[in-house]
Amino acid sequence: MSMVISAMFVLDWKRGDRVKVVINTDRDVKDIEIMISCSQLTPDIERIVSMLRMLDLQLTGMKGEETFLIDTSKILYIDTVDKKTFLYTKDSVYETNLHLYELEDQLTRVGFFRANKSCIINFKHMNSLRADVERKIRVTMSNGEQLIISRQYADYVKERLGVR
């Protein structure tokens, strides 16, 4: 006989909406199932789905009207421009509904770091570093693109790479 433990709580969501979260624990359940019930698919729901995809080391990115699943290992860097967040791969640029701070929280554990106020870089795609003016660091990425690490984050990068 299986024992079922249930928990339920309500979150106050944006614009006064409420989200009911129900967790059922049952020893006989083999796979975790997450079900979202809503009246319509909204950008907030898409953001929740994107955050869940991150757990599988994939992000959802949009290009035009099409949504793509992107392995985080293929992402060179993530940048915010005009309050929109973009994922940059070797060949493409995708827009995501997630905010930079949400991505930073999830991707730090897989080799990403904050480079400046609007950019997160994947360590695995850095080819070279060069000292720049005012203690900043100029990074050349695997696609040849150059990015700046602000002095606020430069010491962390040097320490992580064992460089002084």
What distance lies between CA 43 and its chain's CA centroid?
A: 16
Structural domain span for residue 93: 4-161
Name 36's Cβ contacts closer than 8 Å, sequence gap at least 6: 45, 48, 49
Taking only the tens place, the pLDDT of each residue in 72-120 is 999 999 999 999 999 999 999 999 999 999 999 889 888 899 999 999 9
Instruction: Give the span between the Cα atoms of 34 and 94, in whole angstroms.
Output: 26
* Alpha carbon distance 89, 117 (integer Å): 20
pLDDT at 74: 94
User: In terms of pTM, does the model score above 0.85?
Assistant: no
CB half-sphere exposure, 131, CA atoms < 13 A? 5
Instruction: Provide the pLDDT for residue 92.
Output: 96
Number of separate domains in the chain: 1
The CATH number of residue 124's host domain is 2.40.50.1020
